[in-house]
Structure formats: structure tokens, C-alpha cells
Structure 1
């Protein structure tokens, strides 16, 4: 992994340009060649800047940015075979991956669900904080994680943070690769990535990424397959303007899925224990998803270097499921399930997002400052359907089976005609701006704001919905250069988050509000090859939805509560030597409720993440590495199901047989640790030791 201190960060960092160099020969022919060379390299330099520049777009290097930011690079993704976004997020500093069932996942940071996601700095809040189905990672150049309050980035959000997925875009070469992976549980994966010039000068280029994957699972009955395709084209429209457009498609199918996790809690308050492969599924269960996205981005740079950029994004997704659910066991002698049910659901989501931003420099008090301002509007529609079953012909679902049971315990229900249960339109209008004020050579201040108007219209199972919310959220931060290689910073942000949960009367709870503070020090070492970050954070958020019970209609309802999160983060990343690259991250977190009592016991108080890769000096074509994570003990909300501290270690080795051919082997969970994937909603056992081998041909 080659460590770079200049790259595009979704929060506040502008990608650095690359200089152009020409070669001289002699007289007329060489002058003509040089002119062509200069034109080509100029265009290439512009393309290198066509990456995610973040929602604020202010020019700062990572060590200057007054917020905690981590980047999972394409090199890290490749090294540890992180083929899904779940795998990528497991490597990110301060992030907990809560996988309560096979096809739905929550990412949390600093004690709160991450509900804001972006693609190239543009995106909608993810209201429920859930990621449904497999999310392929091969289509992204890197994944950026901004921890802490994200109102400055999205206009709404909580104290968790924002995930920004940076698309792969055309490169400066005609190049590509194709790779085949075979692994444990009958894993078969074929992937290809190719970038090419569409014009001789390189003014237009395209990149295509494709994946086919099929696998069984260590979990009984589970099988997955998915296909992914992404195409991006960018080009030079005029000397001052560029345009980029593209689309991606993913079709994912899962059989033998979980709806909820393992029934690990006995009624007498003791905890069950089973084989790692145990699943409460039935062989007719499925959960299929389809995701389509498309975008157009136009950028114009004026002669005074001010830039205006407009972006349009379209997102569509569909899901279809047939599910079997169990929860609770009566006692350890009988192992009889106390509750079970079935369900079949459809979901359709579509969104249109438009963003217009301008930025540039201005002079004031003999200093050069930066200014960014813009507006965005997003409109989305969420449709939900229920497929009820015929209870008169499928009486088996009143039984309380003994667990574990066979996967063909009950027949598939006879599903009745589909019923629409929700149809919601959400509109988010933003007006935002920020400025970087350079007080002197050592100190700059960032001041920003977001003014939003948020509306929801339609109906759900609780009845009609028609509400509108408005808010202005300020952001203030400062960075001070202690030395040439060390910067101290402090930041403040308001928290504003519309609720997606219901009260006793099945009306949306009032918005959750709060404040977020962070102070830290960032230092560069070894000629800027290593970056260390140390941060103290504190966030208080009121009216957070927590489950309160069942109302008279038999529906779950929620109440608002106050939570306070405080903690420490330490991160080290970079090249320790010419042959050794390393990352190390430590997070300590304490979460309290309104009474000052510890809460969210499923979140580890202490966690460590690390990676190390080493290129053999005597054999530079061979690279080996270790990575993993450790977390302290946790337990579920009732304290019945407990998880001791555990360490997971992964390893890889890659042999570059030639310039065009490489072989890589990966082994995950090399100590065969047994652990539970989530205690927030009680998950299942994580994967035991497993491995894969990949052969890659580059051209």
C-alpha cells in the first residue's frame, strides 16, 4: 500500500493536481510532438481532479482537517480481500459492524447508528441506518469515514458520522485486470476492471467494472450470488469544463436467510450455545435485492479559478423477501422456541438528487481565504408491500419447534395478494456554505451553516403522514499549526436528525437534537510518511428513539431518550519503512443515559484495529500481511446474552509472478475464534477460519 497524504476526502479535502512534464527533441517535428504532449498531459491533470471533493470542498490536507477522518484505500481492500462493504467497514477506525441477521447490517460509530451515506460527496440520509443485502466494494476507489456530527456534510444526521463511497473513475492509462477467486464454502468470484481512452488525445475516457460471485456458506442452508456492473465516462467539453456520467447495477440473491438472529436467550435468564453453523432459517426463505444508480456531473472552472459544479444522481432499489422468524427459548432442557412467525415483503425505493456548488478564493485583510456555498434538493419515494399468507391452509406456524430444527420443518406458506402498506415521499432542500478564514500562517478558522427544509408526505401503517421540519445548523472549527508537522484543532457542530420511529399513537417522534465537540492533534512523522491522529470527542443528543413497548394495536412504539457519548480515538497510518506499511487504531467510548447510567452495553468500550503489510527486500515481488480487530466484552440490552472480549486476525500473501500475473492467498480468522456478530439485536455466530486464493492478470 502506498501511503498518500494528498487525496480527496469527502469531508473537507480537495484532491491535489499533478504537474505536467514534456520532453524536447529538435525543431518542427519535436515542437509538434511537444504541443500534443502538453495538451494530453493537461487533460490528464484535469481528469486526476475528477474525484470526490467532499460536501464542503475546502482545500485542506488530511493533517489539517478539524475532524476525525479515516480512509480505506483500494490497496487495503485488495490486500484483505474485502469484497463487500461490510468487510471494508470492519477495517475502519471507530466503526462497529452490527450484523443482526444475514441480510441486514448496521454500522455504528461513537455509540450511534450511521444514517448518512454518500457517493462522491452526494447522497441521502439512510433513515433506518440499515444496509440491506450485499454491497459490492469493487466499484469504489476508496471508502471515506468521517466520524462525529455530520450536519455540515448532509444537513441532517447524528453524532455517528458519514460514510462516503468514492467511485472508480477513468485513469490516465489504457489499463485493466481480470481476476478469479476460489475459496471456502464453494466461493467462486470473477471480477474485471478496465479503463481506456475514447479519444487519441485522452480528452475522453471510460472505465468499466464487473463482478460475478456465487457461494455457499458456513451457515446451514445459506447460499448467495450477485452480479455487479459499473460504467463511468468522463471528458473535456471545453478548455474550462468537464463532464462525467455513469451508472451501476447490482443484482443480489440469497437463499436460506435469517430474519432475526439466533434464539440465544432462555426464559430463565441463561444463554444458549450452539455450533457456529446453526441457523434458524427454513429452506424456502429468500431475500433478493436489486440496486441501480446513475449520475451526471458537470464542472466549469472560470479564469479566476472559481469553480462551479452541478451533479444529478438517480437511485433505485427493490427488495423481495420470504422469511421465517423465531425468538426466545423456554429452557435449556426442552430448547423449545417460544415465538415464531413468517412474512413476505416487497420494497421499492427511488430518489432524485440535484446539487449545485460554487467555490473559490477571495482576498480580505491581506490574506487569501476560501469560500464555498451551494444548494441541493433530493426527492425520494419509498413503497412497502406485505404479502400475507393463508392461515387456514398453513396451520403449522402455531407450533413451537425444538431448536435447532431441520431446515424443512415447515412448508412454504401460500402467499395471498400483495397489500401496499406504506407510500412516503421525502423532500430535503438544503442551502449551505462555509468559509476558511486564514487568520495568519499558523491559524485558520472554518465557519459554516446548513439551512434545511425537510418534508414527509404520504401514508404508512399508522395512517396519513404530512409533516415539515426546518432547521439551521452552524458549524465552527479551527486548526492551529504548532510546528511544521503538528496541528491542533477544535470543532463544534449542531446535531439535527428527523425521526423515523413512531410514538404510542404511531406518529413520528419529534426530531432529535444535540451538540458535538471534538478536539485533537494531528502529526506527521518520517518525512510525512506517517500520520498520527489523537482526538477527544463528546456528543449529547436528546430525543433518541428507544423501544418502549407494544401499543393497543399490537405495534411496536418508541419513546425519546437522552444519550451522551464521550471517548478517545488514536490512529496511526503510513509507511514505517520503505517496505512496511501499517495502520493502528484505538477507540475508547463511554455512553450514558439521561440519569448518567451506562447504556448501549452492546457497544464495546474498547476496540483496536490494525493492519501491516511487508514487502520482502530480497524478494520484492512477494508481499505478506496481517490485519484484524479486537474488542472488549459486550452484552445485549437485557444482559442475558454476553460476549467476552475477542481478537480476530486475518492474513494474506501476494506473489507478483510477473508484471502481468499475480497470485494472492487470504486466510481470515486464523485462530478460529467463536464470536457473535451483534448483540444489539442478537445476531449469529461469525465465520470460522476460512480462506481464498485469487489469480490476477493485468494488462
Structure 2
């Protein structure tokens, strides 16, 4: 294990570098993903902030999955892009950190436990089974925090995505874009430190070789180890490899592989309020020591992703691509679930000891190109896909109360799992799909988009003895249509409609009907928006309405599907660059309610804040070339914890600051970085899921250095 005593030279060097040279500057931007990176989400940023390339790149071409190739400006949906520069400059330890400056996103995630992939977008929680992609290909994200160092950028498509990617929550899709081979060699090594005492080393190597540079490679490796902010410990190893080969002038092969093994001892507990007497939460606690952590808790997660594909250029305007991907994740964890019993912070400690394994396989073929019919120009996409998901759960898991305690006192409950846990096949989900879209340019100003996806969906649930416990066999058609108007080359207004279908939940242990598999849910989304970008400034606006089948726990603590949950909101964003300053901000106004059900009609949807605002300031210090200072904030409004609206999670504001400094040391480009998250060390409860909260993360320091050679 790395400790401070083993790294005094590095710690001193970093301290002197920041004190003497004042740290800041964006790292050199990596090359854009190659054309072979099929199924990448559109890269429009609804919130143009800081040095984001979206201030000047809305005309750049993107690969938009089932929509084919469009420019960013021509894509009629709201998205946010986190660039490589953003990933480097901001400490990213959990999913919510990626979108710290996006008001449409509320952070529900945890850094080192099973809640790693919990995120709310426009008041809707993302679907951990279907809402996450790597290069457009699916993986199951439960308990998995992927290695952010290994991605070129992260993209968020907001809202329903049924046409583009098949089944999925209307909250949106998160797509991780892997680092790919670049025309110019890449050679860098990074060292990092974060509170309490975690050290990280990362290597990034890439380039091209062979006749006419036909062969490309990109290798990334990360090791992270040390003591966490709450007294636990972390050990993480990750490696990824991307290859491509120009087999002929028209045919290209590509391959991506990623593996990560992560082990955490002393993981933070989950806090459940379903047994809370009264309607007031205890005073928030600061999760900066072992007070909440009982003995014997841990989580081990092993994740892998592999993909390969071929792209053939049929003609200058046409190409055919096919790909296959496989991903799997296996988790063993012993978790403490604290069931609060009163507003004084007393709880019952339930230990959850289980194992699970998920696997995802997908094959897809797609052809895309353009042609004209008279005065009309067409961009068309035709495709087919098959994918299968397999869920394996513990046959002999443990879920029982082990003792009691209080949030203000040391958790003295001890439970140490013995031996392994057998797994059984709990479910299989198969999707077969056909999709097609046509974007028609009617004139220089007007264009229309029409697309449709036909999906045959089969979901089977099994009992431990192999009997079928649930079966859904359904075919669905999910369309999308949009009208786009460009009053000038730098501005677009649009109106779009999308339908989506998502698979039903497998009910968790905290509910009376645990283990039950629920049926698919349908949703519809209406959106009207405008975006414009000019030299030095950008602005966006989107007005949306989402109707989704409601899913909640009723008075009997049974998870049911009943009625609708409706979300209506407004997103506004703007940024301005003037001289050494760049200022950006965005906000979301949201109205949500349950309708047409037997319970909770007219109540606000749990987890959907009415108001969120975010802002960021970047200052390039004129007196010190290469030095940049940053500050950002995010206010998240109060949130209803339960569908009954009887318990509220208070609003809170988080502030972060950072600096970076780009210089040359010994003839090599070098970047130093420093950042402090939660600058005011704010105590707050974070909404995680209906009935679940977690303590907000305490103030933390992060230092880093990258050397390019």
C-alpha cells in the first residue's frame, strides 16, 4: 500500500510546484475519436462552460448511432459532453462528479459501493441496466465505476432514447468514449494524490506504425491505492487497449478491450428511511471517518469490456459497419444498510451479504449514406441488432438485522462473511431490433427527421430451482420525429418527439415483494429547443415534457407499477468568453407529479428537485503564462424523499475550486493540477433513491502532475 512516507519526494515536488509556479491550463486536447467509433452519442453541450470546445465546435460532425452522421448543431436533442480536459482538471471519483456543472443532473452516486451508477437527469433516475454505453455498446453499471482516465470524453444524451438505442429509461444515456489511436504519438505519465491518502499512477501510450501508418494502438494503465476519506481503503487496477488496422483502402478493423479490478474495504453504508418514525430526517452527518462503518464491510468488483468491428467504405457517401461486444461485471459485497428509526439518528443495522454477475452481448450491423431526390437531400441509416443480457444472483445471500446504533456514535456491529456465495441464473433478456432513419433537408433553413425502431423484447425471470418466475414477450415500435429550422448558419431551433420502452425492475431486498420481476414501462418525450454559438459566446434553451409509467413502493412496501409520472421543465444555459475570463451558467426548472394511479396523485415525484442552478468561472492569469484558475458551484433544490411527499431532503450548495499550470520541465510538456471539492465542507443529505439517502462527501484535496514525453 502506498503511504505518504513512501512518497515524500513527490508530495514535496507537487507542493513546491504549486507554490512557486501557480498551477493551471488546459491539457492539450486529445484527437477526436476516429470515424470507426460507431454509435457515439451526439456531442452537443447544453451547458457551454469554461474552455469547452462546444463554444466553437457545434458544426463538427458526430456519429449519432441510429441517427447516422449529423453535425452537433443539426442534432435535435439536449446533450452534455465532458471533454478530456474537463476530466483531467476536475477530480472525478463518482458518476455525479462528471456533471457537476450541469443543472439538469442531480448527483445520487457513491464512489466506492453499489450506488456507483445512480444519477438523476431531468428528475428521472438513469437505468443501471440500459442507460450506460462504452462507444455506444451496452454494459451493466451496477457497482461499477469505470476508469475515467481511459476515456476521451463522456457524453450524456438527455431524455428518452428508445429509437437510438432500444430499451432504456427516459432519463437518458451516458456514453463513455474510449481513447483511440491518434495520428501523432501519445506518451504521458501521470501521478496523483487525493484525500485522505490515495495515490494514483497512470500511463497513456499510443500511435501508429507499419506501411502508411496502417496499424494504430492506444494503451492505458492505472494503479490506485490508499486510505479513503471515511477510514476505508481502496485498491484499483485498470488496463485498456484500443487497436485499428487499415486492411484495405476501404476496409478497417478496430478492437477495444478494458479490464478493471477494484477492491474497497470499509465501504460506506446505505441509509434507508422506510422505518423512520415521523417526517424529519436526522441532522446531516459528515462522513469523514469510520463512525458509520461497521466491521467487515467490503465490495470487490471485477469489470471487463471487449469490442471488435469492421467498417467498409461502399462509396464516398456510403459505409457499412458491423460490430460485436461483450461485457461482464462480477461483484461480491458485504454492505451495511442502516434503517433509521427516528429523527435523532438511531438505526437498525441490517447486513447485506451477496454476490452477483451480469453479462451483456451485442451484435449490430448498420449502413448509412446520402442521396438526393430532386431538390431534397437525404441522410439515411438502416440497421439491425441483437443483444442478450444475463443476470446471476446469490443463491445463499444474507440479509438480516445484526444490531442497532446511532449516527453520532461509532458503529460497533461486526459481521464477517465466511466462504463464497453460489450464483444462479435469475434472468435473461433478449432484444432483436430493426431501425431506420431519414434526415431530409428541405431547404437551406428547414429539415425534418423521421426514424423508427422495431424491437422484439423477451424477458425471463427464474427461481433458484430453475422454474420460470416471470415472462414478458413483447414487440414494440419506438418512433422519433423532429423538425429543425436554421435562421442562420450558427443557430438552430427544433421540435422533437421520442418514444421509449424500458425493462421492468427486479425488486430489491428492501421491498415486501423482493425478487419479483416487473413488466416493461413506456414513456413519451416532447421537446422544443434552440441553440446558438458565435465567436466568444453560446446559449441554449430546451422546454420538455416526459410522460413515463410510474413505479413506486405503495403503503404496503410493495414495489408496483401504477399510473404515470409526468415531468415538465425548462433548461437554460449560456456562456461568455471575454479576455482572460470565461463565465458560464445554466439552470433547470422542473415540475413533476404522479397522475392516473391509485396512490399519490398530484404529489411530486420522489427525487425530482424543482430548481437546480450551476455556474463556472475560469480565469487565465495574464501575468503567468499557462496558469488558469477555476471555480464552480451547484445548487440542488429540495427533493421529496418518498412518493407520499411526507419526508423532504433539503437543498444544498456545493462549491469547488481548482488550478492548473502548463509548463516545460527538462524539455518536456508538464501540467500541474490542484483542486478542492466541497470547499465549504458542507454537511448535507444526498437523495439516492426513494427512501434512501447518503451523507454528502466531505471537503477533499486533489493534486496531480502529468508529464508528456
With normalisation by structure 2, the TM-score equals 0.84
1:74: Cα distance to partner?
0.7
- State the structure with bigger RCO (CA 8 A, min sep 6), 1 or 2: 2
Quick one: distance in 2 between partners of 1:110 and 1:487? Answer: 22
Q: Is the 8 A contact 2:569 2:590 kept in 1?
A: yes
1:497: Cα distance to partner?
1.9
Determine whether 1:610 maps to 2:624: no
User: Of the two, which has the highest radius of gyration?
Assistant: 1
Q: Secondary structure at the match of 2:66?
A: coil
Q: Which residue of 2 aligns with 1:429?
A: 432
Q: Which residue of 2 aligns with 1:568?
A: 570
The residue correspondences of 1:291-306 to structure 2 (distance < 5 A) are 291-306=303-318
Determine whether 1:648 maps to 2:651: no
Quick one: distance in 2 between partners of 1:267 and 1:387? Answer: 32
Distance change >3 Å, CA 460–CA 576, structure 1 → 2: farther
Q: Which residue of 2 aligns with 1:41?
A: none
Q: Which moved more, 1:679-688 or 1:432-441?
A: 679-688
Distance change >3 Å, CA 85–CA 341, structure 1 → 2: closer
Q: Is the 8 A contact 2:232 2:264 kept in 1?
A: yes
1:473: Cα distance to partner?
1.2
Q: Which residue of 1 aligns with 2:605?
A: 600
1:516: Cα distance to partner?
0.9
Q: Secondary structure at the match of 2:85?
A: helix
Quick one: distance in 1 between partners of 2:415 and 2:384? Answer: 53
Q: Secondary structure at the match of 1:684?
A: strand
Aligned mate of 1:177, from 188, 192, 201:
188
Q: Which moved more, 1:586-595 or 1:80-89?
A: 80-89
Quick one: distance in 1 between partners of 2:554 and 2:607? Answer: 18
1:253: Cα distance to partner?
0.8
Quick one: distance in 1 between partners of 2:704 and 2:473? Answer: 52
Q: Secondary structure at the match of 2:131?
A: strand
Q: Secondary structure at the match of 2:540?
A: strand
Q: Which residue of 2 aligns with 1:546?
A: 552
Determine whether 1:454 maps to 2:443: no
Q: Deviations over 1:619-658 (max 9, x none)?
A: 2221111123112222421656544332211111112231
Distance change >3 Å, CA 125–CA 94, structure 1 → 2: farther
Q: Deviations over 1:562-604 (max 9, x none)?
A: 111100011235x614644444221111101116624124322
Q: Which residue of 1 aligns with 2:413?
A: 409
Q: Which residue of 2 aligns with 1:696?
A: 706
Q: Which residue of 1 aligns with 2:404?
A: 400
Aligned mate of 1:78, from 58, 79, 88:
88
Q: Which residue of 2 aligns with 1:234?
A: 244
1:404: Cα distance to partner?
4.2
Q: Deviations over 1:45-80 (max 9, x none)?
A: xxxxx9972312533322221111111111111111
1:661: Cα distance to partner?
1.9
Aligned mate of 1:517, from 514, 517, 526:
526
The residue correspondences of 1:202-241 to structure 2 (distance < 5 A) are 202-219=213-230, 221-241=231-251
1:609: Cα distance to partner?
2.3
Aligned mate of 2:108, from 98, 113, 134:
98
Quick one: distance in 2 between partners of 1:514 and 1:390? Answer: 34
Distance change >3 Å, CA 261–CA 580, structure 1 → 2: same
Q: Is the 8 A contact 2:160 2:523 kept in 1?
A: no
Distance change >3 Å, CA 355–CA 51, structure 1 → 2: farther
The residue correspondences of 1:363-512 to structure 2 (distance < 5 A) are 363-388=372-397, 397=401, 399-412=403-416, 414=418, 418-420=421-423, 422-460=425-463, 464-501=469-506, 508-512=517-521
Quick one: distance in 2 between partners of 1:274 and 1:610? Answer: 25
Q: CA RMSD in A?
A: 3.1
Aligned residues: 643
Determine whether 1:142 maps to 2:153: yes
Q: Secondary structure at the match of 1:400?
A: strand
The residue correspondences of 1:662-677 to structure 2 (distance < 5 A) are 662-677=671-686
Quick one: distance in 2 between partners of 1:668 and 1:591? Answer: 30
Distance change >3 Å, CA 610–CA 225, structure 1 → 2: farther
Distance change >3 Å, CA 560–CA 121, structure 1 → 2: farther
Q: Which residue of 1 aligns with 2:137?
A: 123
Distance change >3 Å, CA 3–CA 187, structure 1 → 2: closer
Q: Is the 8 A contact 1:514 1:541 kept in 2?
A: yes
1:263: Cα distance to partner?
6.4
Aligned mate of 1:531, from 525, 528, 538:
538
**Structure 2: gaps of 5 or more residues:** 1-25, 45-59
Q: Is the 8 A contact 2:203 2:222 kept in 1?
A: yes
Q: Which residue of 1 aligns with 2:353?
A: 344
Q: Which residue of 1 aligns with 2:670?
A: 661
Q: Is the 8 A contact 2:639 2:687 kept in 1?
A: no
Quick one: distance in 1 between partners of 2:63 and 2:286? Answer: 43
Distance change >3 Å, CA 390–CA 498, structure 1 → 2: closer
Determine whether 1:154 maps to 2:155: no
Q: Is the 8 A contact 1:496 1:513 kept in 2?
A: yes
Q: Is the 8 A contact 1:295 1:312 kept in 2?
A: yes
Q: Deviations over 1:111-140 (max 9, x none)?
A: 2122233545533385xxx64143221111
Quick one: distance in 2 between partners of 1:182 and 1:696? Answer: 12
Quick one: distance in 2 between partners of 1:331 and 1:273? Answer: 8
1:429: Cα distance to partner?
0.7
Q: Which moved more, 1:177-186 or 1:270-279?
A: 270-279
Distance change >3 Å, CA 246–CA 559, structure 1 → 2: closer
Quick one: distance in 2 between partners of 1:101 and 1:302? Answer: 45
Q: Secondary structure at the match of 2:694?
A: coil
Q: Which residue of 2 aligns with 1:132?
A: 143
1:435: Cα distance to partner?
0.5
Quick one: distance in 1 between partners of 2:236 and 2:418? Answer: 27
Quick one: distance in 1 between partners of 2:481 and 2:461? Answer: 36
Distance change >3 Å, CA 348–CA 501, structure 1 → 2: closer
Distance change >3 Å, CA 268–CA 458, structure 1 → 2: closer
Q: Secondary structure at the match of 2:692?
A: coil
Distance change >3 Å, CA 356–CA 620, structure 1 → 2: same
Q: Which residue of 1 aligns with 2:209?
A: 198
Distance change >3 Å, CA 142–CA 360, structure 1 → 2: same
Distance change >3 Å, CA 187–CA 263, structure 1 → 2: farther
Q: Is the 8 A contact 1:209 1:230 kept in 2?
A: yes
1:441: Cα distance to partner?
1.2
Quick one: distance in 2 between partners of 1:474 and 1:485? Answer: 28
Q: Secondary structure at the match of 1:672?
A: coil
Distance change >3 Å, CA 183–CA 511, structure 1 → 2: closer
The residue correspondences of 1:5-20 to structure 2 (distance < 5 A) are 10-12=40-42
Quick one: distance in 2 between partners of 1:181 and 1:657? Answer: 17
Distance change >3 Å, CA 252–CA 91, structure 1 → 2: farther
Q: Is the 8 A contact 1:431 1:450 kept in 2?
A: yes
Q: Is the 8 A contact 2:42 2:79 kept in 1?
A: no
